[in-house]
Amino acid sequence: MKAGDQVVGTTAPVALRDAEAFIFDMDGVLYRGKQPLPGVNEMIDAIEARGRKYLFATNNSMATPAEYVRRMAGYGVTVDASHIQTSGTATRDFLLGELPEGAKLLVVGMPALGAQLQMDTTFVLSDDPEDDIAAVVAGLDQRFSYDTLARALTAIRQGARFIATNTDATLPVENGVLPGAGSIIAAIATASGSQPTVVGKPETLMMEAGVAQLGSQASRTVMIGDRLDTDILAAQRAGLATALVLTGVTTREDLVNSDIVPDYVFTDLPAMLRELVGSG
């Protein structure tokens, strides 16, 4: 590794200039809380100018791709919904290959999760655990209650599959953190005695769905994230190259004691852009 504006791993599977596609985590990479981070438009312009593909990917399932389009527009970034992947859309894509048409889902999550699961599918949402539920799909539910827990428990014990959008323990907010989807998943797992299939980071299903959506090779796709234990770990498990930016959760000090070592480390997106442009 070398010090300075960027730290570059010596065994990176692909040079930035040779990458076919890029997957960007969102919170901590494109914005932090409600504040946009620098270099997003310039990075997109550079990627498109080189004929490369990109995807914005988030573990959050509480907003639809269309809602993220509007949010990014508020930051002055124009992006199409086809360039946005959430743990909700990744879960939908996973279930399309696992469940029959018209399968009934019991959703534990915010309304946007149900909307994403039904987007371009024939899935039917049901709140009745006795309604031949094929899968309980759980994400972060800010209205979570004992009744919700009981319905999920009943459906799972009657044979429904247990699917989690992600297991993030906390949700970063402007003034600290709040309980994340992992707290909801843990409650359902404890009550039902069943462990879920997890789609989001740090598991690989979301990364694999992203690579498939991009039509790229995993080894020539770069994941850019701000967390070692989710973004970087998930990408490494899925065979992607990895770039950590220090604008979110992980600090340089965290890298010292971590067994998770990214291929590249950059101060921020502008630093990564300088490496990308300088390499080409």
pLDDT(3) > 50: no
Q: Give a yes or no: residue 88 inside a domain.
A: no
Q: What six digits make up the tokens of 210?
A: 């992203």
Which tokens sit at 223?
Answer: 């994941």
Per-residue CA distances from 200 to 57, 79, 210 (Å) = 10, 22, 11
Q: Which of 143, 166, 198 is the last residue of a domain?
A: 198
User: Amino acid letter at 269?
Assistant: L
- Quick check: is 268 catalytic? no
Number of H helices, E strands in the chain: 10, 16
Residue range 217-255, pLDDT digits in tens: 999 999 999 999 999 999 999 999 999 999 988 999 999
% of the chain with per-residue pLDDT over 70:
94
Three state DSSP letters for 160-179: CEEEECCCCCEEEECCEEEE
Are 254 and 274 in the same domain? yes
Lowest-confidence segment of 67-76, 110-119, 250-259 by average pLDDT? 250-259
Distance CA 235, CA 108 (A): 27
**Domain match, 172 and 194 both:** yes
Of 181, 198, 215, the last residue of a domain is 198
pLDDT-based confidence at residue 10 (cuts at 50, 70, 90): very low
Q: Are residues 118 and 158 in the same domain?
A: yes
Residue 189 lies in a domain: yes
The total number of structural domains in the chain stands at 2
Helices 181-192, 146-157: axis angle to 10 degrees equals: 50
Banded pLDDT at 6 (limits 50, 70, 90): low
| Whole-angstrom distance, CA of residue 35 vs CA of residue 46 | 22
Select from 106, 138, 142 the least CA-distant residue to 125. 106
Instruction: Return d(Cα 268, Cα 273) in angstroms, integer.
Output: 9
Q: Are residues 193 and 138 in the same domain?
A: yes
Alpha-carbon dihedral angle through residues 57, 60, 35, 263, given to the nearest 10 degrees: -40
Question: What is the Cα 68 distance to its own chain's centre?
Answer: 13
Per-residue pLDDT tens digits for 138-162: 999 999 999 999 999 999 999 999 9
pLDDT in tens, 21-48: 999 999 999 998 788 999 999 999 999 9
In a domain, 184, yes or no: yes
User: Do 182 and 229 reside in the same domain of the chain?
Assistant: no
- Domain of 17: which CATH number? 3.40.50.1000
The pair of structure tokens assigned to 115 is: 């909307």
Are 122 and 190 contained in the same domain? Answer: yes
Q: Is residue 273 part of a domain?
A: yes
Of the candidates 5, 18, 25, 127, the residue annotated as catalytic is 25
- The reply to whether 27 belongs to the active site is yes
The one catalytic residue in 5, 18, 27, 231 is: 27
pLDDT of residue 34: 84
Which residue did the predictor score with more confidence, 165 or 172?
Answer: 165
Q: How far is CA 152 from CA 44, 62, 112, 185, in A?
A: 41, 19, 18, 10
Does the pLDDT at position 1 exceed 90? no
The answer to the question of residue 68 being in a domain is no
> Dihedrals φ, ψ of 241, to 5°?
-75, 155
Q: Which of 10-19, 100-109, 221-230 is predicted least confidently? A: 10-19
The predicted structure's pLDDT at residue 13:
67
Three-state DSSP at 196 gives coil
Both 211 and 193 in a single domain? no
At 175 the pLDDT is 74
> pLDDT at residue 194 above 50?
yes
Domain shared by 134 and 158, yes or no: yes
- Inform me whether the pLDDT recorded for 173 exceeds 90: no
What angle in degrees, to the nearest 10, is found between the helix axes of 205-214 and 87-96?
A: 80
Q: Compute φ and ψ for 161, nearest 5 degrees.
A: -70, 150
73 belongs to a structural domain: no
In this prediction, residue 4 carries a pLDDT of 40
The answer to whether residues 178 and 225 belong to one domain is no
Residues 210 and 236 in one domain: yes
Q: Is 29 within a domain?
A: yes
Residue ranges making up the domain that contains 146: 100-198
**Residue 121 near residue 92, CB atoms below 8 Å:** yes
Domain end residue (candidates: 198, 219, 252) = 198
Residue 71 domain-assigned? no
The identity of residue 261, as a single letter, is V
Q: Does 189 lie in the same domain as 121? A: yes
Residues 174 and 208 in one domain: no
